């Protein structure tokens, strides 16, 4: 995984609660056995007026002009702003793959669904949970004529708005470290191979039926 | 140490080590694998030159993409992309030595139906799957949760996951359920009460007399939809029903080892005096058959209810959600739920496709006919073995005589990755677990109900209180 670098990006306000992973990347795209190429189908049912299928040339498809990501101001957005329970539903990691492939690196919401939240960190996306009222304020700022730009400083855990306002945020230390260093989780866990084997040896005595 | 919750016991028994930041390496006893969320994980293993840590800890089955029509099963999957994905599961399992119940094997079925059915799901174990409804297995006093594909690869390679402990919630469903009210109604009522984000950050233990009175199938239905309340996992304490269910399952321990296991499993209950971070009480007697009206499972009401009015909602975000939902669902505020006509009916999914669900559905279907306005009424058993059992009991005959189609096992119209789906604007009474926009087909309108309520809608052509039939 690429290490997470500080950046300054445009905020796309997607004003809905309970955005589920089916909406983020619809089921027909899950038949792919690859990890890449999901970006053009991100929010497919909201973004296009026709029905999307894998391998379609999305540059030829009719766009839903009402959908926020089709607004030219947000086409290069790297920060997604949403309402509560973002990423609920199916565990599909295709959702963060599609968001990352589109270019999103940070998601701001009052709450996230648990599996989606974890999946983000495996794919270089930083999900940030902020107070509902604060999210409301950000929606106001991001919906003005000029798009809102935010600078993200992960080591300092600080967001800086283009009007100079600053918002501190919290992030789990382990997740923060893995994002910043771009670490391979599996490689790290395998450094604990001896501890895992010791655990197994102990557990085989306590609960032998698990191992038959 | 003092009293422990069931969750604490499961957690403590699986911690390999805890680092300075409080993050634990948690040992995973079992992993279930299906075709949709595993190809990239196997690819990752291959690219890194890694082997599975413990091959026998994994069991694979294709379910999401498989056709449920006998003809397409015989001729091979028509959709070439789906065919490649199902074939990839077979190749991956063969090359890594993982057991797979392929299409055509009588043991094939929905991943969360076959795990318990085979005795692969063990009380007291940790179970994961690249699928959010892995929470189903918590009905056995197992810590079971859904994970993403990177974590599937992580478990394959290390038999562990990096985890932090969750908060604990006890939901006690007290008293006795009324006649005609089922496990599905309990869990829908719970989600209605706490909301789809109500369980976020928690593992929920379900307790109380009404939960204890449920069969193992009913308990699985409740735990299955825990994820719809936002919780990481659902749990139900082990009792003699759990142990009786396990006895004689093909992959369960046998003989002396079974008795030894059973003695240990009996300790899988929250101790008296154990402290939960949150406790919620529900009165079982007050729960009526439930119907969802919107595009989130929390948008649910008893069958005698009316479609809510966004104007009556004070919170502007909630009012907007209601407005969006009514617009998508083609409903108007104030409309009685019992007046909503249905186009299709789906009985199946990992929530409600076990033998008990099919028996409950058949009991309502017996001697009745699917209403003329219903374009399609499907019954899709959860596994080949459920199907065989239902046929042995003559349930298939009851369904087909009533006008239902009787299909081969798989996820089917629960997520419509195969040919079983809704067309835009079609309305479905479904026993599945998600009513999100487009879940059962783009533009399709899903109402979640119990199997008995789905059949009641099929035979009358609209939602109706099954207790009044
Ligand atoms: S039946 Fe539906 S919810 Fe269950 S595993 Fe299959 S697709 Fe997922």
Decide whether any atom of ligand 1 lies within 6 Å of the B433 Cβ.
Answer: yes
Q: How confident is the model at residue A1 (pLDDT cuts 50, 70, 90)?
A: confident
A140-159: average pLDDT: 96
Contact B442 A190 (CB under 8 A): no
CATH number, position B59: 3.30.499.10
Structural domain count, chain B:
2
Same-domain pairing of A156 and A132:
yes
- Ligand 1, atom 4, lies closest to the CA of B350
User: Looking at CA atoms only, how far is residue A106 from chain B in angstroms?
Assistant: 19
Same-domain pairing of A164 and A191:
no
Q: Which pLDDT belongs to residue B51?
A: 96
Contact A115 B320 (CB under 8 A): no
Same-domain pairing of B386 and B277:
no
Summarised one tens digit per residue, pLDDT across range B85-126 is 999 999 999 999 999 999 999 999 999 999 999 999 999 999
Report residue A123 CA to chain centroid gap: 8
Summarised one tens digit per residue, pLDDT across range B372-414 is 999 999 999 999 999 999 999 999 999 999 999 999 999 999 9
CA distance B164 to B126: 14
Whether residue B168 is predicted with pLDDT greater than 90 in this model: the reply is: yes
A24-34: average pLDDT: 91
pTM: 0.95
Within an 8 Å CB–CB cutoff, is residue B189 touching chain A? no
Whether residue A55 is predicted with pLDDT greater than 90 in this model: the reply is: no
- Ligand 1, atom 5, lies closest to the CA of B350
Same-domain pairing of B244 and B340:
no
Domain region containing A186: 182-212
Same-domain pairing of B364 and B272:
no
CA distance B42 to B47: 9
Name residues whose C-beta falls within 8 Å of residue B379's C-beta, 6 or more positions apart in sequence: B347, B348, B358, B361, B399, B404, B405, B406, B407
Same-domain pairing of A139 and A94:
yes
Residues B380, B352: contact at Cβ < 8 Å?
no
Structural domain count, chain A:
2
Summarised one tens digit per residue, pLDDT across range B25-47 is 999 999 999 999 999 999 999 99
A17-34: average pLDDT: 92
Nearest to B14 by CA among B4, B3, B1, B28: B28
Taking all residues of chain A, what is their mean pLDDT, rounded to a whole number? 95
Summarised one tens digit per residue, pLDDT across range A102-133 is 999 999 999 999 999 999 999 999 999 999 99
Domain region containing B13: 1-288
Same-domain pairing of B259 and B305:
no
Contact A196 B53 (CB under 8 A): yes
* Residue B262: burial class (beta carbons within 10 Å; 0-12, 13-18, 19+): buried
Structural domain includes residue A1: no
Decide whether any atom of ligand 1 lies within 6 Å of the B420 Cβ.
Answer: no
Decide whether any atom of ligand 1 lies within 6 Å of the B155 Cβ.
Answer: no
Q: How confident is the model at residue B1 (pLDDT cuts 50, 70, 90)?
A: low
Neighboring chain B residues of A173 at a CB cutoff of 8 Å:
21, 23
Q: How confident is the model at residue B272 (pLDDT cuts 50, 70, 90)?
A: very high
Structural domain includes residue A157: yes
Q: Where is B60: in which H helix or E strand?
A: strand B58-60
A94-104: average pLDDT: 97
Q: Which pLDDT belongs to residue B317?
A: 86
CATH number, position A49: 3.20.19.10
B149-167: average pLDDT: 97
Summarised one tens digit per residue, pLDDT across range B230-259 is 999 999 999 999 999 999 999 999 999 999
Same-domain pairing of A102 and A203:
no
Percent of all residues in chain B with a pLDDT value above 70, rounded to a whole number:
100
Neighboring chain B residues of A85 at a CB cutoff of 8 Å:
196-197, 200, 230
Taking all residues of chain B, what is their mean pLDDT, rounded to a whole number? 96
Whether residue A204 is predicted with pLDDT greater than 90 in this model: the reply is: yes
């Amino acid at each position: 995984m690429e290490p997470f670098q500080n950046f300054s990006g445009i905020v796309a306000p997607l004003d809905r609660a309970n955005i589920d992973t089916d909406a983020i990347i619809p089921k027909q795209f899950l038949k792919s056995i690859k990890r890449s190429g999901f970006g053009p189908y991100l929010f497919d049912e909201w973004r296009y007026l026709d029905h999307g299928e894998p391998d379609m040339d999305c540059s030829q498809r009719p766009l839903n002009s009402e959908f926020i990501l089709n607004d030219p101001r947000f086409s290069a957005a790297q920060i997604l702003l949403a309402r509560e329970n973002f990423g609920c539903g199916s565990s599909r990691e295709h959702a963060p793959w599609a968001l990352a492939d589109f270019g999103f690196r940070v998601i701001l919401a009052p709450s996230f669904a648990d599996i989606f939240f974890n999946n983000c960190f495996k794919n270089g996306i930083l999900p940030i949970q902020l107070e509902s009222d604060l999210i409301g304020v950000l929606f106001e700022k991001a919906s003005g004529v000029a798009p809102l730009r935010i600078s993200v400083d992960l080591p300092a855990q600080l967001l800086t708005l283009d009007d100079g306002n600053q918002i501190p945020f919290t992030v789990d230390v382990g997740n923060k470290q893995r994002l910043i260093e771009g670490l391979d989780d599996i490689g790290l866990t395998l450094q604990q191979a001896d501890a895992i084997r010791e655990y197994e040896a102990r557990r085989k005595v306590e609960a032998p039926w698990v191992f038959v | 140490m003092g009293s422990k919750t069931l969750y604490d016991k499961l957690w403590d028994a699986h911690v390999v080590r805890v680092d300075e930041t409080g993050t634990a390496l948690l040992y995973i006893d079992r992993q279930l694998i299906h075709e949709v969320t595993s190809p990239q994980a196997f690819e990752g293993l291959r690219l890194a030159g890694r082997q599975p840590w413990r091959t026998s800890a994994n069991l694979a089955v294709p379910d999401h993409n498989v056709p449920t029509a006998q003809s397409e099963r015989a001729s091979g999957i028509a959709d070439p992309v789906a065919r490649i994905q199902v074939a990839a599961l077979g190749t991956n399992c063969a090359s890594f030595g993982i057991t797979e119940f392929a299409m055509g094997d009588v043991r094939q079925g929905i991943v969360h139906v076959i795990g318990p059915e085979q005795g692969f799901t063990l009380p007291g174990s940790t179970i994961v799957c690249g699928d959010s409804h892995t929470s189903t297995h918590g009905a056995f006093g197992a810590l079971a949760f859904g994970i993403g594909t990177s974590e599937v690869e992580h478990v394959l390679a290390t038999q562990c996951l990096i985890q932090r402990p969750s908060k604990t919630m006890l939901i006690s469903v007290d008293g006795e359920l009324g006649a005609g009210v089922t496990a599905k109604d309990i869990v829908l009522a719970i989600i209605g009460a706490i909301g789809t984000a109500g369980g976020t950050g928690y593992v929920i233990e379900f307790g109380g007399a009404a939960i204890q009175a449920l069969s193992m199938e009913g308990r699985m239905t409740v735990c299955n939809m825990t994820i719809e309340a936002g919780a990481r996992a659902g749990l139900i304490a082990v009792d003699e029903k759990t142990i009786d269910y396990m006895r004689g399952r093909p992959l369960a321990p046998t003989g002396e080892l079974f008795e030894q296991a059973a003695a240990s499993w009996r300790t899988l209950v929250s101790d008296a005096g154990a402290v939960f971070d949150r406790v919620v009480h529900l009165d079982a007697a007050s729960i009526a058959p439930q119907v969802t009206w919107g595009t989130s499972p929390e948008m649910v009401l008893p069958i005698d209810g009316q479609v809510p009015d966004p104007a009556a909602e004070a919170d502007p975000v909630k009012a907007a959600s209601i407005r969006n939902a009514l617009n998508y669902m083609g409903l108007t505020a104030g409309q009685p739920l019992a007046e909503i006509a249905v186009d299709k009916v789906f009985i199946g999914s990992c929530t409600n496709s076990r033998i008990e669900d099919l028996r409950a559905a058949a009991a309502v279907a017996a001697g009745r006919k699917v209403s003329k306005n219903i374009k399609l009424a499907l019954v899709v058993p959860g596994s080949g073995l459920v199907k065989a059992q239902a046929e042995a009991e003559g349930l298939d005959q009851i369904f087909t005589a009533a006008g239902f189609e009787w299909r081969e096992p798989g996820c089917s119209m629960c997520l419509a990755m195969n040919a079983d789906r809704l067309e835009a604007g079609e309305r479905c009474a479904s026993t599945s677990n998600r009513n999100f926009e487009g879940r059962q087909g783009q533009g399709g309108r899903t109402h979640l109900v119990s199997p008995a309520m789905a059949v009641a809608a099929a035979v009358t052509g609209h939602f109706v209180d099954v207790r009044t039939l």
